[in-house]
Structure 1
Amino acid sequence: MDQVWAVLGASGFIGSALTASLGRAGITVRQVKAPRLSARSTDAAGLLAEAAALTDQAMDLAGALAGADVVINAAGLATPSGADSPELRGANALLPVLVADAADTAGVRRFVHLSSAAVQGHRPCLDESSSVEPFSAYSRSKALGEQALSARVPGHCSVITIRATSVQGPARDTTAKLVRIAASPLASVAGRGDSPSPVSSVDALTSFVLLAGAQPEPVPALVLQPWEGATAAGVLEAAGGRQPFRLPVWFCRGSLKAGYAVSALLGERLHGPLRRVEMMWFGQRQEPGWAEATGNVPTPHVEEVLREARRQRG
């Protein structure tokens, strides 16, 4: 029997790539429109109560998901520099809970929610623990979504949260900005630039989602997108076609410390851009997790994707 996977957020950057990958794999894709939600709560218990009150939306969503084998939530607001709002919390924190409840009601086998490694913020090493250190309104909303899903009473549907890392694709505005910076005199790294970078490809992420969603065996409730082997300098070389400047580590750390202090006085207005500079200079390590332990690591495509983005820019 043909597999049917429902995708919320199918028109977005990751959702459209997932839809294409599922089609190539011979899986029937059902595109489901995500309801627009607004959340007042800033804690998991409050979000669960709000979700329980959305009975009409939950029933409509369950009807749309009926007959699906797997549901993927790729919907949300990707606004790393945006301010906190009920709409941001509704899209990134309340929606995953509502979809999980609806998937349970519809008898879906597995629900895959796409979160972000940004929830772990400035931690020196990304991992699959529940420990989070969000640093912005966006990362706090994604962390809240993870916490609310974890606090749900488990149902029959297997719920998996995948923390996507810094996902790039030739058609993404974020990637175009990275290419422009990498080709400019601003391209620089701290020290030798050989520190691991979590910059990844949309190709590898979609492959990983398919692997996790199709697994016949149980999958942990929280998994991290595997590292694609990129380094801080390697990312800039692939994206810009030139070697970046090597800056003293002490200078980079001092500049970031001063920048974050100023940003805090401005209501975190500069946290997003500063975080991007921090990632460019220092990257971020990743602990091997479920993917590495079970042999479910997709083929790396990150340098290929960055070179293609550079070629398209001309």
Structure 2
Amino acid sequence: MPAPRLKTTQYAPQDHEAVVDELSAGLNGHAAVINCAGVPDASSQDAALLFGANAVVPAVLARAVSRLRPAPRLVHVSSAVVQGRMPVLDESMQTDAFSAYAASKAEGERLALAELHEGLVIYRPPSVHAADRRVTRTISRIARSPLRSVAGPVGRPSPQALLDNVAAAIAFLATCPGTPPAVVIHPWEGVTTMSLMESLGGSRPYMVPEKLARVAVRLLSLAGALVPRLAPDARRVEMLWFGQGQAPSWLTEGGWVPPHGSQAWVDLGHEVSATSH
């Protein structure tokens, strides 16, 4: 069923009772509910739009599910962006909201957990890639340009995921017989800063000396703190150069295996290249 369209800068449960009633009626009898709704524009500065879609919608949905008996499992698709610049992405509730978008996604997790104490699974995929996704095409353009680069001396783990793998992980979380924890991260798909550039660009990137790259990232982060609309761009550069570590995922422990491996990343690069001309 379509998600409600809400635009607000605060969550007051009593203001959304009609929406909750409608959702409860529509979801009654289902074994699992998946929330993929939200505003995906990480550069948006529209606080009401971001908060309404990414924070309030998960809250009212969780509230609606909590009223059902038996209550279905709710898989809320959040984002690894909520942990920002943490050295290692993990399955804790610790967050680092470095942008308006990240803050809205983090608040969505908090509000949903407050409304539904059992049966909620918060799934945090990293950057999700497919041939028609903007993030993929943007990185591909960079990877095929003279700007293609990573921080030396070697490639580092990078949290990236193929769209088909993310879809398979969501389906697993919704239907697996075991009980997933409250927060589940997407497993590392073996992508490094180097392999991402090579797969999506078709050639080896340049190496930027690590010390120089770290100084540049600090300056970009400072610019993002002073001018909020620049924060997402600063973070993108940091991710492309340095990547980010990932802790083990419950999905792996639960027996889930991504259906697509390293060759799919190479195939994706070829597909993007073929459709970009």
Query: What band does the TM-score fall into relative to the shorter chain?
Result: over 0.9
Secondary structure at 1:113 match in 2: strand
Give the structure 2 partner of residue 197 of structure 1.
Answer: 158
Give the structure 2 partner of residue 167 of structure 1.
Answer: 128
- 188-197 or 131-140, larger mean C-alpha shift: 188-197
Q: Which of the numbers 275, 281, 286 marks the counterpart of 2:246? A: 286
| 1:73 counterpart = 2:35 | yes
Shift of 1:87: 2.1
Cα distance in 2 between the residues matched to 1:201 and 1:306: 12
Give the structure 2 partner of residue 64 of structure 1.
Answer: 26
Give the structure 2 partner of residue 275 of structure 1.
Answer: 235
Work out the percentage of aligned pairs sharing the same amino acid: 37
Give the structure 2 partner of residue 121 of structure 1.
Answer: 84
Shift of 1:159: 0.9
Secondary structure at 1:147 match in 2: helix
Give the structure 2 partner of residue 89 of structure 1.
Answer: 51
Cα distance in 2 between the residues matched to 1:159 and 1:106: 13
Give the structure 1 partner of residue 255 of structure 2.
Answer: 295
Shift of 1:148: 1.3
Shift of 1:153: 5.1
Give the structure 1 partner of residue 5 of structure 2.
Answer: 36
Shift of 1:40: 2.9
Secondary structure at 1:209 match in 2: helix
CA RMSD of aligned residues (A): 1.6
Aligned 8 A contact 2:79 2:105 in 1: yes
Secondary structure at 1:246 match in 2: strand
Closer, same or farther in 2 for the Cα pair 1:192/1:312, shift >3 Å?
farther
Aligned partner of 1:60: which letter?
E
Q: Which of the numbers 219, 227, 231 marks the counterpart of 2:180? A: 219
Give the structure 2 partner of residue 310 of structure 1.
Answer: 273
Gaps of 5+ in 1: 1-31, 42-46
Aligned 8 A contact 1:170 1:305 in 2: yes
Cα distance in 1 between the residues matched to 2:197 and 2:181: 33
The total of aligned residue pairs comes to: 273
Cα distance in 1 between the residues matched to 2:21 and 2:4: 12
Shift of 1:114: 0.4
Aligned partner of 1:122: which letter?
R
Cα distance in 1 between the residues matched to 2:9 and 2:271: 42
1:240-281 Cα shifts (integer Å, max 9, x gaps): 101100110011110111122223222x12111111111110
Aligned partner of 1:204: which letter?
N
Aligned partner of 2:127: which letter?
S
Secondary structure at 1:269 match in 2: helix
Q: TM-score, normalised by structure 2?
A: 0.93
| 1:208 counterpart = 2:177 | no
Cα distance in 2 between the residues matched to 1:247 and 1:137: 29
Give the structure 1 partner of residue 105 of structure 2.
Answer: 142
| 1:133 counterpart = 2:96 | yes
Shift of 1:215: 1.0
Secondary structure at 1:134 match in 2: coil
Cα distance in 1 between the residues matched to 2:256 and 2:45: 36
Cα distance in 2 between the residues matched to 1:124 and 1:290: 19
1:172-217 Cα shifts (integer Å, max 9, x gaps): 1221111111100111000034210111100110010111111111
Shift of 1:52: 4.0
Shift of 1:36: 1.1
- 273-282 or 57-66, larger mean C-alpha shift: 57-66
Give the structure 1 partner of residue 15 of structure 2.
Answer: 53
Closer, same or farther in 2 for the Cα pair 1:300/1:196, shift >3 Å?
farther
Secondary structure at 1:270 match in 2: helix
Closer, same or farther in 2 for the Cα pair 1:241/1:216, shift >3 Å?
same
Secondary structure at 2:177 match in 1: coil
Secondary structure at 1:200 match in 2: strand
